[in-house]
Every structure is written in structure tokens, then in C-alpha cells.
Amino acid sequence: MASFSLQLLTSFLALSLGAAVPVDHMLETRDFAAEAGLTVTDNYNTLFRIQRQSGLSQALEARRRIRRNKVVPNELDEDPDGSEDANIFANGFRQNEYIVKVKIGGDEFSLVPDTGSSDTWVVADGFKCLAPFSGLEIPREDCGLGTPFKGDFPDGKIDNINLNISYESGEYINGPMGFANITVANVTVPKQQFALVNVAAFQGDEVSSGILGLGLRGLTEAFKGNDPTKDTIADLVNYSPFVESMGTSKVADPILGFALSRDDKRSYISFGGVPPVKTGEYVTVPIQKGTFNEKTDYFFYEVAVDSISWNSSTISQEATNLPHMIVDSATTINLFPLNVATAINNAFTPAGKQQEGGLVWSVACDAVPPTLNIVIGGKAIRTSPGSMTINETASDGSVQCVSGIGAGQPNSYILGDTFMEEIIAVFDASNKKQMKFAQRLD
């Protein structure tokens, strides 16, 4: 009798405490994703952040903002007075970069996942490294590129086609194109077109071997012929880039998810859906078309911005009637219209200092940033305070850092990593052509 009573009591306690009942903490997040037409996917990889080394070309940052007919000058001119601030920005300009592991054929490479470009390329073994302006051959290590691709294209070379990307900074890359199976985050795109760069006038980050181009077809830069010096816009041949090929090959929906963070353990990229990160509700907006060389197409992941507001203990301001902005995973800072960038940097405590050239600001590394909200599709997206100051840019012994807010040029305003950190940014390259954003809650 005692044993029976004890059994009943044990059963009652187990039911009362509910200790064995699992709780799905992602249930609401999955519901929010479903409402936005998304799924939470297992096809995701961790991203890791690297710091660009001191002394590398400032154009490393600028070149990702320079596409055909989209020119941003080198804004980081050296201050003639040789001040500490000038040294930070002219000689020791160090920023962050996200890296993903990508398998091409049978080998793995570290590539920069770039939503601001569409061509995937890897440096080839034995490539020629050139000085950008003189064209003189220099040691390969001076190009700062990672592990090279050895051998030929696994699935064949394309005859009479070359990749030719030139940058206003004077940097450029060239190389033949071909095919290989490309795998990232458990998604393999068969026979994806990519380039093996055999000529590089380029300054890399000492880690990445190239770029994983995640942009749209309109931005691809393949040209007819084998001599890049003879390429003209009439020779341009657009092709299916990686994200589009995901959809056409039916290996995954042509959707990217970025969950960036200053914490390496919390940075993810996903393919075909969104990573398993707790979020609030999504806002959905259309990608905007652009017109270049008399052609109207989808070139960038460009969105309309309703307003930008910033508030400090003494300042409360808002900007409206704003231009469209490009969401670019490979640009560290945001690039706003000059008047907006100036006002936001003035709202730091203490206020930021505009640098020579006028497009970047220094702020005290321990400055208190204003609260920054960017309204897209009627929804305010809060910028993480920790992303408003790029602490890694301080030179040894310095207390000055780069502000996360800079000024862009017309047609080149950018929502970079400062915006993308601590949110989920979804790039839908399907026929819907949409961007979706949600605040992270994890």
C-alpha cells in the first residue's frame, strides 16, 4: 500500500512540476518568420570577424562602394599636420570584415560574403601581383591575399570570357572564368560560374582568398574576350550569380539571411531561410531598381528609407526625404548624406571630429553615441550602440576611433555593418525582390 501511494505521489509531482515538458523558445520566432514568408533553416554557417591590418590601402573599404558608374573618392587623405587623428585614418585605418568558409570543388577557402558585389572569385596559384597605379609587378605577399586556388576549373573553363573589375582607387582584378561546385552552409550549387584571378592589383586582408559575390545578376562583370585591356561596356555579359543559381538549381530558395554581431559566436549567414536566432516581427520592403548605362535593372539590394532619427541627452533630431540606400555586408560603416552624418556625429558625447576629406569622423573610443533609429517600411530599426564606434580602429595607445557613421556620395549611400549588426537582414533574390528586417532578441 505504501509503495502504491508513493508511486501515485511521484506521478502527481512529475505532472505538477512539468519538468519533462520541452519548451520551444523559438516558437514565436518561427511564427514571425512564417508571417514574413520565411523559414528557419539549418543551412547556416558561423561568420568570423577579422581586423584589417594597419597600413593596408584605405581603398580596401572604398572599393566595395565603387561599382560601375558608382564612384566614391578616396576620402582618407593624410592630414598635413601629422596629428594623431590623421595617423589613425591615413596610416592605421583598420576596420572589421566578416569571413565565411566556402568549398570550391574539393578545397575550402576563406571568402568575404559580399552583398554589394555579384561575382565570386578566388585568387589563382601563381597569380601576378601588381602595384595598382604603376602596374609594376611586386611580390605576391604584397597583395595580402589568402590561400590560392591550385589547378584548373573543376568543371571546365569558359572560352573567351574574363572577369574584369576595376576600382576608382586604381585597384583591379582580372582572370578567366569557369565552373565548379560551390558549397557553403550545407548548400551546394552545381557548376557555378566563378573566376580564378591571375592578375591582381589589389590589397587584401591577409586572410581571405577572394569574394563570395552574393549580389544580383545586374551587377555581374564578365566580359567577352580574353584580353581585359580591350573590354568595353558593349562586351559585358551578365550571368547567374550564386544566389540566383541557388534558386534555378533548386538546391535552396534564393534567400540570404545575415545575423551579424561583434560577438563571433553570434554571427551567422544562412541560405534558403533565416538562421535560428530569436527575433521580433519582420518588416518587408521592395528592392529598388537602378539605371546605369541607360539600362534599368536590379543592381544592388537598395531600399527606400523613410527617416533617420537620433537622440542624445541634449539633442533630438530627424531626417526625412532621404535617398535610397544600399544594404552592403562588406562595408563596415554606414554612409549617409553629409548633413545627416554631420549631425549624428555631433550628437556623440563628446562630439565627433570630421576628418580631412570630410567623409569620415573620429570619436573618442569611450564616447557615448546617440540613440539611432532607421525607419524602413514604417518600422524603426534600432542601431546597436556598440556598433556606433569601431573600437578596433584605434592605433596603439590612441583613444580615438572611427565613427560608425560616415558620409557617402550621391548614388552610394550605404547601410553597412553598423546597421546590420544585432538585426536579421534578409535578402530575397527571388522574383519577389524584397528585403526583410527584424530586431534580434537573443
DSSP 272-336: SSB-S--B---EEEEPPPEEETTEEE--S-EE---EEEEE-SS-EEEE-SPPPEEE-TT--SEEE
* Residue 408 domain flag: yes
* Residues 330 and 371 occupy one common structural domain: yes
Is pLDDT above 80 for 118? yes
- DSSP label of 234: G
* Residues 413 and 304 occupy one common structural domain: yes
* Residues 286 and 254 occupy one common structural domain: no
Look up 396 and say whether it is catalytic. Answer: no
Q: Which of 1-10, 218-227, 245-254 has the lowest mean pLDDT?
A: 1-10
CB 425 within 8 A of CB 258: yes
> Which run of H or E residues covers position 167?
none
**What is the extent of the structural domain holding 307?**
27-45+273-439
CATH for 341: 2.40.70.10
Q: Which of 6-15, 54-63, 139-148, 400-409 has the lowest mean pLDDT?
A: 54-63
> Which among 219, 248, 266 is the end of a domain?
266
Q: Which of 119, 205, 253, 328 is catalytic?
A: 328
In the prediction, which pLDDT does 392 show?
Answer: 83
* Residue 15 domain flag: no
> Which among 227, 245, 266 is the end of a domain?
266
Three-class DSSP category at 50: strand
As a whole number of Å, the end-to-end CA separation of the chain is: 50
In the prediction, which pLDDT does 7 show?
Answer: 52
Distance CA 284, CA 63 (A): 29
Pairing of strands 389-390, 414-415: unpaired
Is pLDDT above 90 for 414? yes
* Residues 38 and 187 occupy one common structural domain: no
* Residues 242 and 309 occupy one common structural domain: no
Q: What angle do CA 106, 107, 111 make, to 5 degrees?
A: 135
- Mean pLDDT (whole number) for 89-96: 47
Is pLDDT above 80 for 53? no
* Residue 17 domain flag: no
Q: How confident is the model at residue 50 (pLDDT cuts 50, 70, 90)?
A: confident
CB 221 within 8 A of CB 158: no
* Residues 38 and 158 occupy one common structural domain: no
- Mean pLDDT (whole number) for 87-105: 70
Cis upstream peptide for 350 (omega within 30°): yes
Largest CA distance in the chain: 96
Pairing of strands 334-336, 353-354: unpaired
Look up 155 and say whether it is catalytic. Answer: no
* Residues 341 and 400 occupy one common structural domain: yes
Cell readout for 432 is 519577389
Q: Which of 114, 119, 205, 428 is catalytic?
A: 114
Distance CA 395, CA 81 (A): 17
* Residue 91 domain flag: no
* Residue 52 domain flag: no
Give the number of domains in the chain.
Answer: 2
Three-class DSSP category at 352: coil
In the prediction, which pLDDT does 23 show?
Answer: 56
* Residues 381 and 289 occupy one common structural domain: yes
* Residues 255 and 283 occupy one common structural domain: no
CB 247 within 8 A of CB 256: no
> Which among 207, 233, 266 is the end of a domain?
266
> In whole numbers, what is the pLDDT of the chain averaged over residues?
87
* Residue 282 domain flag: yes
In the prediction, which pLDDT does 242 show?
Answer: 98
Q: Which of 120-129, 270-279, 398-407 has the lowest mean pLDDT?
A: 398-407
* Residues 122 and 144 occupy one common structural domain: yes
- Mean pLDDT (whole number) for 131-142: 91
Tens digit of each residue's pLDDT (9 = 90 or more) over 334-377:
999 999 999 999 999 999 999 877 889 999 999 999 999 999 99
* Residues 257 and 170 occupy one common structural domain: yes
* Residue 202 domain flag: yes
* Residue 87 domain flag: no
CA atoms within 13 A on the CB side of 362: 24
Distance CA 359, CA 405 (A): 9
Is pLDDT above 80 for 72? no
* Residues 262 and 283 occupy one common structural domain: no
